[in-house]
Chains A and B, each alone.
Chain A
Amino acid sequence: MKQDNAMTTPFVDQYDSLKPELPGSALPWMTALRDRAMDAFSASGLPTQRRESWKYTNLRNLTQLELDGQSLAPRPVSIDRAPSLLPDGSAYRIVFVNGDFRADLSDLADLPAGAVIGGVAALSEDEPECVERLLAQHKGIEDQPLVALNTALMRDGLLLQLDAGCKLERVLEVIHVNSAQNGVFAHNARNLISLGAGSEATILEHHLGLDDSAYYINAANDVTLDEDATLRHYRIQAEGKNAVHTSTTNGELAGNSFYDGYTLSVGAALSRNETKMNLTAEGANCHLNGGYLMRSQQHCDTTTVVEHLAPQTSCREVFKGVLDGRSRGVFQGRIVVRPNAQQTDGHQLNKVLLLTDTAEINAKPELEIYADDVKCSHGCSAGEVDHDALFYLRSRGLSETSAKALLIQAFLAESVSEIGAVELQDLFLEKISDWLAV
C-alpha cells in the first residue's frame, strides 16, 4: 500500500545522507537491517486512516511540525539536573535528553551481576552482539510502519538485559526529557528490554516535555520475557502540549512470565500508545492497564493487541479515560485466542468520563476467539460525572469543582490500583491530582 504523503518523504529523503553517522554504521548487519527497514517504510509510508488499525488517528499533525533537513540530526539541549520522580539513591536512573543518553545525569552504580543497563548507541559499539541479538528478536518491520521507521533511523534508547535469575532490587527510572528550544526535531527512541529466565525488574518510565515546543517522538520498545521472568513497566507520558508521541511496544512472553504494564497519558497534542503482546507459552500473563487524561484539543490513542498463542495464558486490561474540552480518545483493544489456546482468560475494560459535550471517545473492543474453552470478557462505557454523587458531595459543602475532582480521582484510582508495585501507586495518583488542579 504505497502512500505518497507529504509526511513520509522527509524521512525517506534524508535517510541516505544520515546513514553514515547513525550509530552502528560500521556494523554490516546493522546497516543491512536499517536498509531493509527503510525499504519497508518507504513502501508503506506513514500509516494513514485508510489502514483499519489507524482509523481514528491521523498523523497529519506531523506536517505542521515542518520537519526540515536538520530535524533528524541530534539537537542537544542543556540540562544540568534530571527531573526525577524518585529520591536520589533509591532507584537506578537512566536519562535521555532529546533522545540521547546522558551518562552524567544517570545513576547506574551498583548494578547486580548479570545486569546490563545502558544506552543502545554506546552499547552498539561496546557490545554489538548483545544489541544484534535483541534487535533480531522482533520482526515488526513489515506490518508496523512506525517500527520500520524507527529501525531505519534509531539513534539511542534504553537497553536492559538481565541474565537468568537476576533481580533488580531497585526500581529503574527511565527519564526521557525533550525540548525543541534549539529547533524542531524528530527522534526515534529504541528501547530494548530482555529478561532472562526467572529475572525480575521494575521500570518507571517518564516522558516529559520541558516546554511547549513542538517535536516528534517515535518510540519502539522490544520486550522479551523468558520463562518465569517478571517485568513491571509503568509509564507516564507527559510530553509538551505541542508534541507528537507515538510508541509501539512489541512483547514476547514465554511460559509463566508476567508483564505488568500501566501507562498514564496526560501530554502531547497527539499520542498513540500501541502495545502488542504475544503470549507464547503456558502460564504467560500480561496486564495492560492505564489512564488517559486529555483536555483542549488533545488526541490520545490506546491500541492493544494480545495474542493468546498457547493454552492457559491470561491477560487483563483496565483503562480509564477522562476527556475534557474538545479532546478525543481512541481505545482499540483486540484479544485474539488461537485455536490451541484453550483455557485462556481474557478480561478487558475501558471506561471513559466525558466532561463536556464536545469531547469524544472512539472505542473498539475486538475479541477474536478460535478456541472453545476460554473465558473472555470485555466492557466499554462512556458517560458523564454522576449527578447524584455530585449533588451528594455538594450538599455536604464541597464546591462543584472539588466535588468533580474527587469523583474523577476516584474513577481513575480504580485503574491505578491495578499497579502491581503498590509503592508506586501514590506517584501516579499525584500526577492525576496535578492534572486535575490545572
Chain B
Amino acid sequence: MLEIKNLHASVEDKPILRGIDLTIQPGEVHAIMGPNGSGKSTLAHVMTGRDGYEVTEGEVLYRGKNILEMAPEERAGEGLFLAFQYPVEIPGVTNTTFMKEALNSIRRYRGEDELDAMQFMKVIREKTKQLGVSSDMLKRAVNVGFSGGEKKRNDILQMAVLEPTLAILDETDSGLDIDALKTVADGVNLLRSPENATLVITHYQRLLDYIVPDFVHVLASGRIVKSGDKTLAQELEKKGYAEFTGQAA
C-alpha cells in the first residue's frame, strides 16, 4: 500500500534523506530506528507534507497515488495519520470542535456524509470507551495544559476517530513514562487490523516491546542501511548505532 522509491529530501539545501526505499503492505507494522540526526523525523514530515522540506528525487506512492504532490489535508483524506513527537497546543479551540471538524473534513474528502453533533458524540463515546481514555479532555482546548502523556493519548484518540489506513508514529515515546507508553501502545494495538499498516519511528527499542514490529529498518545518514525482523531491534539495544554511523560515514 505504501511504496517509497529512492526518496531524497533536503532542508535549506542540506540533503537529509539520501535515497530511501521502503515498501509496506496492509496489516504490517514497520519500525524505523536510527540515531539522532539520521533523518527519521524528516521522513515522517516529508510523508505528511510539512513545509520546509524539498524533495529532490524519488517518489512516495500511497495506494498507487503519488502523495508528494498533495496538500497535508489531502494526504489525511487518503488515510495517512501522523502522531506527533510534540503535539501542538491550540488555545481557544476545544478538542470536540477540532475533532468534529477533522472527521467531517475527511468524510467530505471521501465523499461521505458529514456527521451532525449527535452522531459525532456517539462516535466519540465509542472511541473513548474503546481506548479507556477519559472524555474530560474533550471539553478542554487542544493539548493546552495537557501533560506529555495526555497529549500523546489525545493523538491516539484522534487516530481512533479518524481511522487512518497508515499511521505514522513519530518518536511518540519521547518524554513518556512507562505507564503512558503502555496506554499509547495499547491504543495503537487496538486499532491494528489486516487492512491497516503502522510505521513506528523511534530511537529506542523500548516502545517495540509493546508495539511489536514485523520489520525493523535502521536509518543512518538518510539511508536504510539494514533491515530485519524484531530481533534487529534487540540487537541495536545491546550494541547501539556505532556500527552504522561508522558505515554510513
A residues lining the B interface (CB < 8 Å): 386-389, 391-400, 402-403, 406-407, 409-411, 413-414
A408 vs chain B, min Cβ distance (A): 10
Interface residue from B49, B88, B101 paired with A398 (Cβ < 8 Å): B101
Are the CB atoms of A394 and B91 closer together than 8 Å? no
- A396-B76, A396-B102, A406-B98 known, 7 other contacts, Cβ within 8 Å: A386-B88, A391-B50, A395-B81, A395-B82, A396-B98, A398-B101, A399-B71
Interface residue from B76, B101, B103 paired with A395 (Cβ < 8 Å): B76
CB contacts (< 8 Å) of A393 on chain B: these are 90, 98, 102
Are the CB atoms of B93 and A398 closer together than 8 Å? no
B221 vs chain A, min Cβ distance (A): 26
A402→B73 CA distance, assembly (Å): 11
Interface residue from B72, B89, B105, B158 paired with A402 (Cβ < 8 Å): B105
Given contacts A387-B51, A402-B101, contact A397 B73 (CB under 8 A): yes
Q: Which of B64-92 contact A (CB under 8 A)?
A: 71-73, 75-77, 81-82, 84, 87-92
* 24 A–B contacts from the bound complex (CB under 8 Å): A387-B51, A389-B88, A391-B88, A392-B87, A392-B90, A394-B72, A395-B48, A395-B50, A395-B75, A396-B98, A396-B99, A396-B158, A396-B162, A398-B73, A398-B101, A398-B105, A399-B71, A406-B97, A406-B101, A407-B90, A407-B93, A409-B92, A410-B90, A410-B91
Are the CB atoms of B91 and A397 closer together than 8 Å? no
B165 vs chain A, min Cβ distance (A): 13
A407→B92 CA distance, assembly (Å): 8
Interface residue from A399, A413, A414 paired with B105 (Cβ < 8 Å): A399
Are the CB atoms of A398 and B92 closer together than 8 Å? no
B residues lining the A interface (CB < 8 Å): 48-51, 71-73, 75-77, 81-82, 84, 87-93, 97-99, 101-103, 105-106, 109, 141, 158, 162
A398→B75 CA distance, assembly (Å): 11
CB contacts (< 8 Å) of B92 on chain A: these are 409-411, 413-414
Given contacts A392-B84, A400-B71, contact A410 B105 (CB under 8 A): no
B204 vs chain A, min Cβ distance (A): 24
Are the CB atoms of B72 and A391 closer together than 8 Å? yes
B87 vs chain A, min Cβ distance (A): 7
The winner among B49, B76, B141 for most chain A CB atoms within 10 A is: B76
A394→B92 CA distance, assembly (Å): 17
B15 vs chain A, min Cβ distance (A): 22
CB contacts (< 8 Å) of A398 on chain B: these are 73, 101-102, 105
A50 vs chain B, min Cβ distance (A): 41
B148 vs chain A, min Cβ distance (A): 16
Given contacts A391-B51, A410-B90, A414-B92, contact A397 B77 (CB under 8 A): yes
Given contacts A392-B87, A411-B92, contact A400 B51 (CB under 8 A): no
Given contacts A388-B88, A395-B76, contact A406 B71 (CB under 8 A): no
B73 vs chain A, min Cβ distance (A): 5
CB contacts (< 8 Å) of A389 on chain B: these are 88-90
Are the CB atoms of B71 and A397 closer together than 8 Å? no
A60 vs chain B, min Cβ distance (A): 38
Are the CB atoms of B162 and A397 closer together than 8 Å? yes
A400→B105 CA distance, assembly (Å): 11
Interface residue from A387, A388, A399, A414 paired with B73 (Cβ < 8 Å): A399
Are the CB atoms of B88 and A397 closer together than 8 Å? no
B79 vs chain A, min Cβ distance (A): 10
Are the CB atoms of A395 and B49 closer together than 8 Å? yes
A69 vs chain B, min Cβ distance (A): 51
Interface residue from A387, A397, A411 paired with B106 (Cβ < 8 Å): A397
Are the CB atoms of B102 and A397 closer together than 8 Å? yes
CB contacts (< 8 Å) of B99 on chain A: these are 396
A311 vs chain B, min Cβ distance (A): 35
A394→B50 CA distance, assembly (Å): 9
The winner among B48, B92, B97 for most chain A CB atoms within 10 A is: B92
CB contacts (< 8 Å) of A397 on chain B: these are 73, 76-77, 102-103, 105-106, 109, 162
Chain B: CB-nearest residue to A403:
B73
Chain A: CB-nearest residue to B48:
A395
Chain B: CB-nearest residue to A406:
B93
CB contacts (< 8 Å) of B93 on chain A: these are 406-407, 409-410
Chain A: CB-nearest residue to B93:
A410
CB contacts (< 8 Å) of A403 on chain B: these are 73
Chain A: CB-nearest residue to B77:
A397
Are the CB atoms of B90 and A394 closer together than 8 Å? no
Chain A: CB-nearest residue to B101:
A398
Chain A: CB-nearest residue to B45:
A391
Listed from nearest, the 3 A-B pairs whose CB atoms lie closest are: A410-B92, A397-B105, A396-B102
A400 vs chain B, min Cβ distance (A): 7
CB contacts (< 8 Å) of B109 on chain A: these are 397
A264 vs chain B, min Cβ distance (A): 16
Are the CB atoms of A394 and B98 closer together than 8 Å? no
CB contacts (< 8 Å) of B82 on chain A: these are 395
Chain A: CB-nearest residue to B87:
A392
CB contacts (< 8 Å) of A409 on chain B: these are 92-93
A387→B93 CA distance, assembly (Å): 16
CB contacts (< 8 Å) of A395 on chain B: these are 48-50, 72-73, 75-76, 81-82
CB contacts (< 8 Å) of B103 on chain A: these are 397
The winner among B48, B50, B106 for most chain A CB atoms within 10 A is: B50
A387→B50 CA distance, assembly (Å): 10
CB contacts (< 8 Å) of A411 on chain B: these are 92
CB contacts (< 8 Å) of B98 on chain A: these are 393, 396, 406
A413→B92 CA distance, assembly (Å): 7
A436 vs chain B, min Cβ distance (A): 13
Chain A: CB-nearest residue to B110:
A397
Chain A: CB-nearest residue to B97:
A406
CB contacts (< 8 Å) of A387 on chain B: these are 51
The winner among A393, A397, A409, A410 for most chain B CB atoms within 10 A is: A397
A398→B82 CA distance, assembly (Å): 14
A399→B105 CA distance, assembly (Å): 8
Chain B: CB-nearest residue to A392:
B88
Are the CB atoms of A400 and B73 closer together than 8 Å? yes
Chain A: CB-nearest residue to B158:
A396
A11 vs chain B, min Cβ distance (A): 44
B190 vs chain A, min Cβ distance (A): 20
